[in-house]
Amino acid sequence: MAKIGINIATGSIQKEDAIVGIDLGTTNSLVAIVRSDTREAIALKEIDGLSLVPSIVFFDENNQAQVGTAALDKLLTHPERTIYSAKRLMGKSYGDLSQDSHFFAYKIHDDGSDALVKVQIDDQFYSPIELSALILKELKSRAEHILKMPINRAVITVPAYFNDTQRQATRDAGKLAGLDVLRIVNEPTAASLAYGIGLDPKEEKTIAVYDLGGGTFDISILKINQGIFEVLSTNGDTYLGGDDLDRALVMHWKMQLEQAGITGNSSTLLQALRLAAEAAKKQLSTSDKASAVIEGIPLEITKTEFESLIQPLLDRTLQSCQQALHDAQLTAAQIDAVIMVGGSTRVPAVKNCVRDFFKKEVNDSLNPDEVVALGAAIQADILAGNNTDMLLLDITPLSLGIETLGGLMDVLIPRNAKIPNKAGRQYTTSKDGQSSLLINVYQGERDQVAHNRKLASFSLRNIPAMPAGLPKIDIQFLLDADGILKVSATELRSGVAQEIEVKAQYGLDDSMVEQMLLDSLTHAQEDMQTRALIEATTEANLMIETTEKFLINYAALISDSEQALTKTQIEKIKQAIQDKHKDAIQKTTEQLNEVTRPFAERVMDSALKDAMRGKKIL
Ligand code: AMP
């Protein structure tokens, strides 16, 4: 296994093997590196010369996965077993996707809860994290094959608008694929780095990144100052891309076919038209005319005709640009550089309309399919410490967090975060009248604190008696430039406060950090399962506690049969907890909700009426 070396003093990674940059895209993904000899960023290509790997996973009858080009044909032959656009599912619940479900030809499992979505194939369920991990694994092994060395570390890009859950999901996917994800970088930031914008710490610039891919459109406005990229605004359309340009031409040609007497909507005809339209569109990027023959009928399109067909779509992208500028409180004239990303920006009309909108030449000299991965590779190279001209901000080598219910690690400052850094979060008590809270501070990457390193422990005392859940305990982590961590806890309702100082890296040498990182990789899958089990158990225990209290407090208003039914259900949950069966715990806990709902509503109504009559409840 390759060695992971981290310099504790600087937080920088020591160079022992290549760190790759990965663009994990909705339609295609690819890997890039900075060549050690020429210092040039290049996309990795197989002998076939292709750098793009379709972000598609096919599962055969034995649930064996095929990824990338091998899965591409299966989109037509086995649509229900072939997963595309898994990125659109990352960190999403079924509720989040209800508007978009028509887009997916495969089955998205809806368990009616707010839980994260899963894809169902036969009786197997796959999370978007697992699906993305399969794509990342394919990219990893492809890169290992091309570079002939093991690849264990990567920088992965995500859209600028991805929230914390989606970023964490991407990180987890990397972990599952056996990759140490050194950093998650915004796609527009990577594109900017690929053009060398933002590499000079003295540079101050405001840029626009226009990204029109196969199925999505994003516009991001970034401000770069002292090597720090700040996203000022993002806008776009998650269902607008090259596919829509193809569709415009398909509709046009379909009308011509109908005039020639060829009608019908057979999937073979539509598929043939779609492929011909995409080929013609690509041809029109370099010539003035394109043609095709469908069912014996010759079809033609000129560049001018095509441009008027797609104008409404281009106008939509410009409206998004206008909105993004408005949100950033800027005018087009205040944008210093415009960067083009995504295969569809090869269409000359796209470049022209963007240039006219921003009134300046666009950056389009790099391959628009590769530019994000190239930037990720440059970021990886900087993290590897190879680019000595670049000011590298100190980063913390291991995550810092506190223990929460069930012995889980709650990370406040993630590993690789810049130093100095500050983070805070609010917690509460789990017991009625709890007067003190023990705060355990840990360092490490594992989900359970037991596997991490304890840095400090202190108690917040004299919390005034309040029901569980009411105190607001604000915990702040302050990591100063010397790597000293100050942890403070304040109960906000009463003002009770405590503070402690910890030397975060005290006593840890490089090899120990290395071991902790390797452990977190080796145990990723098992850790995720354990975390899910602990979370389900904690939630179930809280629910049991609340319900038992409710049964006692409102005994007079609950019938014997309701009491009995509830107690039986509680026993079922306890059994599931004892069996350590996560799905059963979740299911029986949900059932408890169902069992208690009718009388809980009745009791609350009646208690409310009593209260309104001026009586004391209980
Ligand atoms: P991406 O998602 O960035 O890989 O973009 C893929 C999209 O770019 C697809 O809709 C392709 O049809 C489109 N594309 C690729 N090459 C060209 C080209 N030469 N001219 C126009 N569109 C292209």
For the segment 506-518, what is each residue's pLDDT rounded down to a tens digit?
455 666 766 777 7
Looking at residue 503, its pLDDT comes to 61
Mean pLDDT over 535-552 rounds to 89
The third-level CATH classification (topology) of the domain covering 525-612 is Substrate Binding Domain Of Dnak; Chain:A; Domain 2 (1.20.1270)
Centre of ligand 1 from the C-alpha of residue 381, in Å = 28
pLDDT tens per residue across span 424-446: 999 988 888 899 888 999 988 88
Is 4's pLDDT higher than 70? no
CATH class of 16-195+369-384: alpha beta
Distance CA 342, CA 347 (A): 10
Looking at residue 3, its pLDDT comes to 38
- State which ligand 1 atom lies nearest to the alpha carbon of 241: 10
Looking at residue 6, its pLDDT comes to 43
Whether the full predicted model's pTM is greater than 0.75, yes or no, is no
Confidence of residue 15 (pLDDT cuts 50, 70, 90): very low
Active site residue 73: no
Q: Is 345 in the pocket of ligand 1 (CB under 6 A)?
A: no
Distance CA 312, CA 555 (A): 66
Interhelix angle 510-522/524-553, rounded to 10 degrees, is 70
Q: Is 343 in the pocket of ligand 1 (CB under 6 A)?
A: yes
Distance CA 600, CA 606 (A): 10
Centre of ligand 1 from the C-alpha of residue 479, in Å = 45
CB–CB of 324/301 below 8 Å? no
Active site residue 87: yes
Is 66's pLDDT higher than 80? yes
- State which ligand 1 atom lies nearest to the alpha carbon of 27: 2
Confidence of residue 44 (pLDDT cuts 50, 70, 90): very high
Q: Which residue has the higher pLDDT, 101 or 278?
A: 278
CB–CB of 100/88 below 8 Å? yes
Q: Which of 138, 172, 180, 187 is catalytic?
A: 187
Name the 3-class secondary structure at 126.
Answer: strand
Which residue in 444, 442, 446, 473 sits closest to 456, CA to CA?
442
β pairing state of 19-24 and 453-460: unpaired
Mean pLDDT over 140-155 rounds to 93
Determine what percent of the chain is predicted with pLDDT higher than 70.
90
Active site residue 23: yes
Confidence of residue 70 (pLDDT cuts 50, 70, 90): very high
pLDDT tens per residue across span 171-220: 889 999 999 998 889 899 999 999 999 888 788 999 999 999 999 999 99
Mean pLDDT over 373-377 rounds to 97
Q: Helix and strand tally (H, E) in the chain?
A: 15, 26
Please give the full DSSP string across 414-481, using - where no structure is assigned: -TT-BSSEEEEEEE--SSTT---EEEEEEESS-SBGGGSEEEEEEEE--PPP--TT---EEEEEEE-T
CATH class of 400-522: mainly beta
Handedness of CA 448, 451, 452, 456 (dihedral sign): positive
Looking at residue 162, its pLDDT comes to 84
Alpha helices by DSSP H, 181-223: 187-194
Sorted by where each begins, the domain ranges of the chain are 16-195+369-384, 242-311, 400-522, 525-612
Which residue in 2, 342, 493 sits closest to 20, CA to CA?
2
Looking at residue 608, its pLDDT comes to 67
Q: Which superfamily does 242-311 belong to?
A: ATPase, substrate binding domain, subdomain 4 (3.90.640.10)
Which residue in 109, 107, 108, 113 sits closest to 95, CA to CA?
113
Looking at residue 502, its pLDDT comes to 72
Centre of ligand 1 from the C-alpha of residue 528, in Å = 37
Q: Which of 211, 445, 447, 527 is catalytic?
A: 211
Mean pLDDT over 116-128 rounds to 92
Determine what percent of the chain is predicted with pLDDT higher than 90.
54
Residue with tokens 């915990």: 475
Q: Which residue has the higher pLDDT, 393 or 504?
A: 504
Q: What angle do CA 449, 452, 453 make, to 5 degrees?
A: 115
